[in-house]
Every structure is written in structure tokens, then in C-alpha cells.
Amino acid sequence: MKCIDKIKNFHCKGILCKRTAVLFLVLSVSAAGCGQEITIDNPYDVYESPRAYGLNTTVSSNSDTAFFAEELCVADTQDKLSGDITASLSEAAGLFNLQEHNMEFGKNVHLRLYPASTTKILTAYTALKHGDLSAKATVTEAELQLEAGSTVCGLSAGDTVTLEELLYGLMLCSGNDAANVIADLVSGSTEEFAKLMNQEALALGATNSHFVNPHGLHDEAHYTTVYDMYLIFQAALQEEMFVTIISSQSHTGIVTAASGETISKDWINTNKYVNGEETVPQGVQVIGGKTGTTNAAGYCLVLFSQKGGTIPYISIVYKSDSRENLYLEMTELLGKISK
């Protein structure tokens, strides 16, 4: 009898099933050998509702037995490469068909990497879930203390700004200053907001991630994977305001200065497909996404696109060695959609 036949009481929780099963089998077989029976303590009950485990579900059903991964792409540990995608251009990448619930391309999708400013996808999602778009924050000097070279949306101490405007500054021009203000406005501190981010990520099944700040500036304890970011991004896309923001080429932010003067700020989307600097393959429409760059993370990009205006896709490239190669590989992924 094969080793896998001797595993008892092993039930998977949908989205994590294949990844967990493969890892468990490798460790168990090497440790115990085929001659020993393996039993899992406290297994996930496949018949129990994911709500009982504190997991979100995208399934619209009145049944308590709706499966967590029923409407999600499931990816195991094996790469799924393609001859028309240059695999050497980045460390990890994925292409996910949201209609067919299928990963059409995958390279190191479970490898932990630094997400840089693609972190702000989770920041925006968490703020939209737990904040009030009309709530106002007054910017402090502490929130503006960022490492040299940080991207900002131009806030000044004493400025008063709504959460809605902060989200535009966060997602379009990747304002790290906006990220800090959002964290304090929603949770009172960066530390508490990071706890909330991790809570939301875990609820979405992103168990291979950990976040310590709302902006993605480098920290060794701040990481995610292509697959986990797919889970986070697809959840954020359920928020209408999130899609409205990421699809905007530009936005004029309204800020009230400490003097009471109303100031307009022009924010341009850093996404080269959205702002027209990169050409999109015929038959594909890029709706929006998020860029990210640090020395440790390399060049990163997360995109939401549609084929023929109807079939939704998420494509992700992490840790490319240059902006040129980042967009080259992403264009190849988009080209696969168009075929």
C-alpha cells in the first residue's frame, strides 16, 4: 500500500489543501517511513463551515458547508511554466484566471519574498473594511518620518485629510506618508494596524505572510508570496471603491492645510499600463493594480485585467531585477491572456 493511503483523518481546508498536503507528506514519509501509520491530530473538518475556523469565504451560499476554496484558484508546490513566458526575468510570478478558478502560470508562487509597496493592497483593503471613508485625520510630524528616498504623496504636518483622499494618495502615487496616516486613523498606531492586517490576511488564507507596517518599506519580518498576494488582491477587488481607485489614471486630492487653506494635490498612477506608458496586448484591458520597489524586494507588480472585457485575471510578478524586465514579463503574461 502506498504511504498516502495510510494517512488517516486528513482533511484539507480548500485553498491550503494541496500546499499543506504535499509538505506534510514529504516530512512525514521521510520521518516515519512507509511502514508506519500516520495520524493527524485535530484535523480540519471538511464538512464544517470555514466560518467556524475564522476564515472568510467568497461563496454566496446559505449553506454552512460551503467550501473555502470553492471560488478560488488552488495552487500546489509545483511550478506551472509556459514556453511563451521568460522565466528568468523575476524570482516569482503567477497568472490567475478568476472565471475558471485556475492558475494558468505559476513560478515559485509559495516562495516568501518582500512585497515592497504591493503591501498597500492589503493596507487599502483593511482600511476599507474597518474605516470610514469620510473620517478625517490630522497629519503629525511622526507620521512623516520615513527613510530617505521614500515615495510620498506630499502631506505636511497639520494637514487635515479624509480617509478616501488618503487611499488615493496611497494607491496612485504610492504615498508612504499616506500609509502611516491611514494606520493611525484606523487603528491608532502602526503596530495595531499591522495586527489588523495580519488578521485579515490570515482570514483570507494567506498563511505564508507576515506584515509589520502599512507601506512595505523593508523589514526582514515583513513578507508574503505571489499566491498569498493573489488571495489578498482578489478579496480587495470585491470592494467597489478599491477598483475605482486603482483604475484611476490620476486624481486631484483635496487637503486642508493647518492654516485652513484648501490645497489641491495632483496624484498620478505609477502603473505604466494605466498611465499609458506601456502597451497592453490586443484584447486585454488592464483595470489597475499596484507597483512596488525596494532594494531587497526588487521590482514588483500586481495587476487586475480583463480578457475581452469580461474574463477577469490577476497577474503578479515579484522580484524582477529591473523595471524594464518587470514590464517585459508582465506583458508576456498579459499576452498569454490574449491568446
Beta strands in the chain (DSSP E): 7-8, 38-39, 90-97, 102-107, 136-138, 160-162, 250-256, 262-268, 284-294, 298-307, 311-320
DSSP-derived secondary structure for 40-70: -SS---TTS-GGGGT-------S-TT--TTT
Point out the catalytic residue in the list 120, 265, 290, 307. 120
The answer to whether 322 is a known catalytic residue is: no
| Helix ranges restricted to H, 75-223 | 119-130, 163-171, 176-187, 190-203
Cβ-contact 147, 332 below 8 angstroms? no
Quote the radius of gyration of the chain (alpha carbons, Å). Answer: 21
- Catalytic pick among 13, 28, 90, 117: 117
Annotated catalytic residue within 174, 187, 209, 315? 174
Question: For this structure, is 117 an active site residue?
Answer: yes
Q: Is 120 a catalytic residue?
A: yes
Relative to beta strand 262-268, strand 284-294 is: unpaired
List the catalytic residues: 117, 120, 174
